[in-house]
Chains A and B, each alone.
Chain A
Amino acid sequence: RKEVEQDPGPFNVPEGATVAFNCTYSNSASQSFFWYRQDCRKEPKLLMSVYSSGNEDGRFTAQLNRASQYISLLIRDSKLSDSATYLCAVNRGRDDKIIFGKGTRLHILP
């Protein structure tokens, strides 16, 4: 099983819709969880950290399910500018290095 797994997509979603991504991780010792956004030909940028209690930042909501070892990202009222690749990341646990999933491509359609 890969350390971090994501559905690669692409997700083609009409503008204004709600879209959800899931990401599973294999190491139960992982303690830190993140969602990154990567635009074409750019570096990944931190979108939000994911806390145990779940957290929200505007249209974005992140949740953590430790029992099932997955994190999720919900985007409400999607905008054209949300089109990007979304990477989940977790710390490895044994040495705190951060490892990334392959990313999920999102296309918001006008």
Chain B
Amino acid sequence: SAVISQKPSRDICQRGTSLTIQCQVDSQVTMMFWYRQQPGQSLTLIATANQGSEATYESGFVIDKFPISRPNLTFSTLTVSNLSPEDSSIYLCGHRGLYEQYFGPGTRLTVT
């Protein structure tokens, strides 16, 4: 699997602001994904980041709240907009192997 890095690793943000998370893969990958893991919960797929086109969002997630960019085959960003305490979570990017999912180290977001 490709090596995935994320920045920042953690952040504390005030409500109403936004945070942009960067995800870098060390080789070109076709599919990149963004997941959220809220405290004590499992991973929930937010969206698929598509290179050259708009992201595909899962039910319950919208572009205005979670805009995503995918400018090339190794990089993607997720912005969490208009932050509220309910957005406090770990956000993970990932890519697919042949069938399985691989993850970056995650970004731990705390909203105060």
Contacts and interface: CB of A to CB of B under 8 A. Distances in A.
Interface of A: 4, 32, 34, 41-46, 49, 87, 89, 91, 97-103
Is chain A's interface secondary structure helix, strand, loop, or mixed overall?
strand
B42 A100 contact: yes
B103 A102 contact: no
Contacts, number: 40
Nearest to B48: A97
B100 A101 contact: no
Contact of A49 (B45, B100, B108): B100
B105 to A, nearest CB: 5
B99 A32 contact: yes
Interface string B42-58: 11010010000000001
Contacts of B104: 43
14 contacts: A4-B42, A32-B100, A34-B101, A43-B104, A43-B106, A45-B103, A46-B102, A49-B100, A91-B99, A97-B48, A97-B58, A98-B45, A98-B100, A99-B45
A29 B71 CA distance: 33
Contacts of A99: 45
Contacts of A41: 108
Given A43-B104, A43-B105, A97 B45 contact: yes
Is chain B's interface secondary structure helix, strand, loop, or mixed overall?
strand
B92 interface: yes
Interface in B78-112: 92, 96, 99-106, 108
A89 B92 contact: no
A98 B101 contact: yes
Contacts of B33: 97
Contacts of B108: 41
Contacts of B103: 43-45
Contacts of B105: 42-43
